[in-house]
Amino acid sequence: MNAKQRDRVATVIIDLIVAAVVGILLFLLVYILSAGLPHVSWKFITGASDPMSGAGGIGVQLFNSFYLLVLTMLISIPISLGAGIYLAEYAKDNWRTSLIRSAIEVLSSLPSVVVGLFGFLLFVVKFKMGFSVISGAVALTFFNLPLLTRNIEESLSAVSRSQREAGLSLGLSKWKTEIGIILPVALPGIVTGVVLSAGRVFGEAAALIYTAGQSAPVTNFSDWNPMDPASPLNPMRPAETLAVHIWKINTEGMAENAAQLSAAASAILILAVLLFNLGARLLGNFLYRRVTASK
Amino acid sequence: MLKQYSFEKTAVQSFDAQTTLALKTEDLQVFYGANHAMHDANLGFPKNQITALIGASGSGKSTYLRSLNRMNDGIATVTGKIWYHGVNINEPNVNIYEIRKHIGMVFQRPNPFSKSIRENIVYALKANGMKSKADLDERVETSLRGAALWDEVKDTLDKSALSLSGGQQQRLCIARSIAMAPDVLLLDEPCSALDPISTVKVEETLLELQKQYTIIIVTHNMQQAARVSSQCAFFHLGHVMEYTSTGTMFSNPQIPVTQDYIAGSFG
């Protein structure tokens, strides 16, 4: 076999692998959507579910998923941004830094059920935060931190050293250089990380069962005062998310049409994730264009 | 095999009291850990002239240059004195950010920020508190004119700087530096990544800029040193071997190692 043939064989193999991956993905998407979408109605998307059987709509759960995501991101993005900047720019290359890095890796490999039980014992019971959106958000932050920190660190490190030198040579402080010059260039990579971790938050169930709870009390969507117990924005109320709801319908639900309900809810979940990804990318590209003046 | 040259005999000129020096180093030493990269550099840089630092790779000329605006902080240990306006700026308590505003730097590879052409110039100015749009616009125009780039980019100031050619990017970097209104401009092989035509443009720009700035340029290219500089320092393995007017350096070098380098025997 000469170099040209070898090249061709390798290309074919790589193409096949890619095709397999895309094929599996498409199959799952088509399967979930075709099984679920016929049972989706506007009433299903916006309606409330029956607390006992799980039958009915998923309106509250859908809102809870988004709300939990936003809260989680509000907590985890600033922390991981700080940690990522520290690791990429300020940390010296010594045993302490590698200890931090290993700790982050260990954190990322914790089973979600362990994180859930930890959150339950610490936040829900010990700190008396109860089954609540905020307990769930803090627990999910534990998932997000390693992924996001690592991702932000790598995105920042990938920006050329010469950009840093340019900033410093103009008399800009290290911090100003980092925030004003390096961060904008690293933005697309960071957005990718945020999207990936958001997907995890949307799909997470095990950790949330113990922290955000399995009940979705009827909320009053005309009351937007976060202090009111019935307000959807109240972070102290229990909040069953869509993923937890799907799990519940299938395990504890007593609805007659449980299979259809969960198929429909899964289809909505998938669509929500896709929409979120798309939105985050558009926003990221828009921001990137604004700060870098590129097309 | 590189010939062994003695570091004992050097020919480094000093300037009399009549010559105004923009910058002067006294016994400047640079260490990368245990590696002694620069030995006792005693050089003075006359105001409003171009001084070229020449020498083979690894001769320490870039290391020396980067010490002058403290860009080696945190990378290397620099001892000795750097005199700037009667102040030794190689002291730990000197505000390095302030120093770098007065001693600008242009690097080997063009490194414009990934921002618009205008923003490349005004970003650091804004960070220093310049707010008025009129002032900023004026600074954009004067510095781009100073770097001989204005006519090429005046209609596309809001386009990305990365869309410019390499030569234009390097002139933008020069414009970005002079927008800070420095005294001294350090250039670290500014043309090594550029094609000949862009190089000519940058050189013409430098000759024009020396009326207002003191320029120190590191270059690999002896023809370039001969074309643009009035003083020339030759570095060899971390030692300043010879420092004299450019004319003398190329017509009548004093030290054997300089003679061999100028004649093209090594480097």
Q: Given this model, what pLDDT does residue B182 score?
A: 92
Confidence of residue B142 (pLDDT cuts 50, 70, 90): very high
Spatial neighbors of B157 by CB under 8 A, at least 6 apart, are: B116, B117, B118, B140
β pairing state of B231-236 and B214-218: unpaired
Long-range contact set of residues A100-109: C-beta below 8 Å, sequence gap at least 24: A104/A145, A104/A146, A104/A149, A104/A150, A105/A146, A107/A142, A107/A145, A107/A146, A108/A143, A108/A146, A108/A147, A108/A150
Q: Are A257 and A44 in contact (CB under 8 A)?
A: no
Q: Given this model, what pLDDT does residue B97 score?
A: 92
The per-residue pLDDT for range B239-251, each reduced to its tens digit, is 999 999 999 999 9
DSSP string, A26-47: HHHHHHHHHHHGGG--HHHHHS
Spatial neighbors of A165 by CB under 8 A, at least 6 apart, are: B71, B105, B107, B111
Please tell me the distance in Å from A189's CA to the nearest CA on chain B.
15
Among A90-99, A282-291, B69-78, B142-151, which stretch is predicted with the lowest mean pLDDT?
A282-291
Q: Given this model, what pLDDT does residue A295 score?
A: 60
- Mean pLDDT of the region B1-7: 77
Q: Given this model, what pLDDT does residue A277 score?
A: 86
Q: Which of B71, B116, B158 sits opposite A165 (nearest CB)?
A: B71
Q: Are B40 and B51 in contact (CB under 8 A)?
A: no
Flag if B101 and A166 touch (Cβ within 8 Å): no
**Number of Cβ pairs closer than 8 Å across A and B?**
71
Q: Given this model, what pLDDT does residue A74 score?
A: 93
Residue B251: in which H helix or E strand, if any?
helix B246-251
Residues of chain A with confidence (pLDDT) below 70: 218, 295
Locus of tokens 């490190």: A157
Locus of tokens 């103009």: A170
Q: Given this model, what pLDDT does residue A204 score?
A: 87
Q: Given this model, what pLDDT does residue A197 score?
A: 86
CA angle (B162 as vertex; B130, B128 as ends), nearest 5: 15
Distance of CA B223 to the CA centre of its chain: 17
Flag if B111 and A165 touch (Cβ within 8 Å): yes
Q: Given this model, what pLDDT does residue B1 score?
A: 59
What domains are there in chain B, each with its CATH number? 19-109+183-263 (3.40.50.300)
Flag if B115 and A293 touch (Cβ within 8 Å): yes
**Mean pLDDT, chain A, whole residue set:** 87
Interface of B with A in 37-66 (CB under 8 A): none
Flag if A180 and B101 touch (Cβ within 8 Å): no
ipTM: 0.88
Please tell me the distance in Å from B157's CA to the nearest CA on chain A.
10
CATH of A40-292, one of 3.40.640.10, 3.30.450.90, 3.65.10.10, 1.10.3720.10: 1.10.3720.10
Cα–Cα distance between B259 and B211 in angstroms, integer? 31
Please tell me the distance in Å from A276's CA to the nearest CA on chain B.
27
Q: Which residues of A touch B116 (CB under 8 A)?
A: 293
Q: Which residues of A touch B176 (CB under 8 A)?
A: 166, 170
Please tell me the distance in Å from B96's CA to the nearest CA on chain A.
7
- Contact status of B212 with chain A (Cβ, < 8 Å): no
Please classify residue B164 by burial: count the beta carbons closer than 10 Å to its beta carbon, then call 0-12 exposed, 13-18 middle and 19+ buried: buried
Locus of tokens 């039980």: A117
Is the pLDDT assigned to residue B58 strictly greater than 90?
no
β pairing state of B103-106 and B184-188: parallel
Please tell me the distance in Å from B26's CA to the nearest CA on chain A.
23
Cα–Cα distance between B210 and B56 in angstroms, integer? 25
Q: Given this model, what pLDDT does residue B38 score?
A: 92
Please tell me the distance in Å from B219's CA to the nearest CA on chain A.
19
- Contact status of B111 with chain A (Cβ, < 8 Å): yes
Flag if B159 and A293 touch (Cβ within 8 Å): yes
Q: Given this model, what pLDDT does residue B119 score?
A: 93
Flag if B71 and A160 touch (Cβ within 8 Å): no
The per-residue pLDDT for range A10-46, each reduced to its tens digit, is 999 999 999 999 999 999 999 999 998 888 888 888 8
- Mean pLDDT of the region B97-102: 93
B31 φ/ψ angles, rounded to the nearest 5 degrees: -125, 130
Flag if B112 and A176 touch (Cβ within 8 Å): no
Q: Given this model, what pLDDT does residue A93 score?
A: 84
CA angle (B188 as vertex; B185, B192 as ends), nearest 5: 130
Flag if B104 and A293 touch (Cβ within 8 Å): no
Token couple for A49: 């579910």
The per-residue pLDDT for range B177-196, each reduced to its tens digit, is 999 999 999 999 999 888 88
- Contact status of B69 with chain A (Cβ, < 8 Å): yes
The per-residue pLDDT for range A62-102, each reduced to its tens digit, is 888 989 999 999 999 999 999 999 999 888 888 999 998 89
Distance of CA B215 to the CA centre of its chain: 6
